[in-house]
A and B are shown apart, each in its own frame.
Chain A
């Protein structure tokens, strides 16, 4: 019998048994999915964004369906980093899957403190810093939209942790490559992209914005082409390992992200549509590689052919 395709991927200091990770904010703290997913099969689990103190989040409505996607403004509700380390992390440890803590703060100091506390958690595989957060000390300017904000957050976190450091980029910038470069220079081992695209939904009959928060983040199949483009750009310009995401619903989507250079991928909104999406995509990946006669998933990474016409990506 032919051996199953190898799925292990190495992202700088982070080794994953396969490239399938569940995306922050779409997989709860993992255990919500126990009825549907054998957590031990996943390459990684990225938990809901953690802050220094517990947060209640925004008033409802918080989510709304948009064409082939959804918009959300949850408001980063979470149990707080200490509670995560105390009760949520131990529940995930037995599954032998890379647990990634997604962290954020409203000041540089807060980012560093959350990262420091998260790093004390036994068995944590990596930190992912969500830099799509407004800086309350600088008039709400989003850290990740500003090279200086990005540099300060990433270097502050780098100083307090020896864990593999993933920096999660926001797509809501003019030039994602320049922000990516700053993040890497400041100590990121890995980049993950994209977070949600800013958007709004309007209720015509009430003449109001649908979400209580007004603005929200768009995710799902609707953002896949934009996300693919940004992942492709970053992978072409930088040597750093990249985790790609944005609208991945099936194995073909996952392979598209890998072909443009992502070494691993995250499954987000798809977890809401079918709670077993992550493992179904993993099964699909095994089948697809087998079908294509590919022995190692790494052969797909960045394997996009760029000869022939209409391959000019300069815009």
Chain B
């Protein structure tokens, strides 16, 4: 397909040894998925109902790649019943006092996320992961070319883990971050500290451009230097708009989609999105065929 002609699908440079040994994860090799009881190391209140949860979940963290997610649940609890899907926001390398740690950035929107927000250090949470298809990065890239990360609100959660991978691939990461108001531009400074150029838009105009993140994207696509690839995560309406803009511009793009999920492992067929397949369409499971999809594949 034209839109990703320049995309060599090689797997994410994951944290673990697979990547270091140059081995790639092929669909035929069974994925290493773990289900474990993780200890809460920290649950930092970032304001505006956003929390950064740091978990000791070594096997999950060690096997994770940027773009993947985990299913979180409270063991034995029957209401709320289903596990909650959350992007693997970052994996912190081991240091003297800690093994690799897993970070989840989440926003309180209902009962499950309320329970997550109430977690205290030392408490436990069941983590199933890593799940889903990671982001891939183009290779080789023209020197100085950019990778745009388009985030709508809490969609920003997926990007911290991607940043080092883009940098290693020789891309210059730029974050286009849209939210309702300034307070919801969470972790913006963290990105800046990693050397990511951050451009913001808010609906109420309290910070950055007034309006939607798509305005920032329009500008970025219209200006030099070359944009090698665009990654996007956020509300469906935003992803749809972003996808359409990128298909029109011919820049390859990967969207990270969301859906209500039952199992997270491809068994319930509950999480589907309509995608282009052969001459017609198919329903692809977001939890295994996604959550990352080429923009050109998704039929909204």
Contacts and interface: CB of A to CB of B under 8 A. Distances in A.
Contacts of B267: 26-28, 32-33, 271-272, 275
Contact of B259 (A28, A61, A74): A61
A35 B31 contact: yes
Nearest to A249: B78
Chain A contact-residue range equals: 35 or more
A284 interface: no
Nearest to A56: B283
A32 B35 CA distance: 14
A96 interface: no
Chain B contact-residue range equals: 20 to 34
A35 to B, nearest CB: 5
Chain B binding surface SS class = loop
Contact of B272 (A48, A57, A273): A57
B53 interface: no
B260 interface: yes
A26 B268 contact: yes
B81 A63 contact: no
25 contacts: A33-B267, A35-B30, A56-B283, A60-B271, A62-B270, A62-B271, A62-B272, A63-B260, A63-B261, A63-B268, A63-B270, A63-B271, A65-B260, A68-B79, A68-B81, A72-B268, A74-B268, A74-B269, A74-B270, A272-B264, A272-B267, A273-B81, A274-B73, A274-B126, A275-B128
The 6 closest A-B pairs by CB, nearest first: A63-B270, A28-B267, A272-B263, A68-B79, A272-B262, A32-B267
Contact of A70 (B30, B81, B272, B283): B81
A28 B270 contact: no
Nearest to A34: B30
B138 interface: no
Contacts of A65: 80-82, 260
A67 interface: yes
Given A60-B283, A269-B262, A274-B73, 15 more contacts: A25-B269, A35-B32, A35-B33, A36-B33, A57-B269, A57-B283, A63-B271, A72-B262, A72-B268, A221-B78, A272-B82, A272-B83, A272-B263, A275-B128, A275-B263
Given A36-B35, A70-B82, A25 B260 contact: no
B273 interface: yes
A197 interface: no
Contacts of A273: 73, 81-83
Nearest to B110: A65
B114 to A, nearest CB: 14
Nearest to B281: A56
A220 interface: yes
A27 B269 CA distance: 10
A59 B270 CA distance: 10
B272 A60 contact: yes
A274 B35 contact: yes
B65 to A, nearest CB: 16
B266 interface: yes
Interface of A: 25-28, 32-36, 48, 56-57, 59-65, 67-70, 72, 74, 77, 220-221, 249, 269, 271-276
A68 to B, nearest CB: 4
B282 interface: yes
A52 B192 CA distance: 56
Contacts of B32: 35
Contacts of B265: 32-33, 35, 275
B263 A271 contact: yes
A26 B266 CA distance: 10
A62 B268 CA distance: 10
Contacts of B283: 56-57, 59-60, 77
Contacts of A60: 259, 271-274, 283
Contacts of A62: 260, 269-272
A204 to B, nearest CB: 13
Contacts of B272: 57, 60, 62
A57 to B, nearest CB: 6
The interface centre, meaning the residue of B75, B80, B259, B272 with most chain A CB atoms within 10 A of its CB, is B272
Contacts of A272: 82-83, 262-264, 267-268
B116 to A, nearest CB: 15
Contacts of A27: 267
Nearest to B31: A35
A275 B80 contact: no
Nearest to A276: B35
Contact of B81 (A35, A59, A220): A220
Nearest to A28: B267
A65 B78 CA distance: 11
A59 B259 CA distance: 12
Contacts of A77: 269, 283
A221 B260 contact: no
A207 B268 CA distance: 27
A38 to B, nearest CB: 14
Contacts of B79: 67-68, 221
Interface in B224-281: 259-274
A221 B270 CA distance: 19
A57 B73 CA distance: 28
B30 A72 contact: no
A63 to B, nearest CB: 3
Interface string B109-125: 00000000000000000
Contacts of A274: 35, 73, 75, 126
Contacts of A36: 33, 35
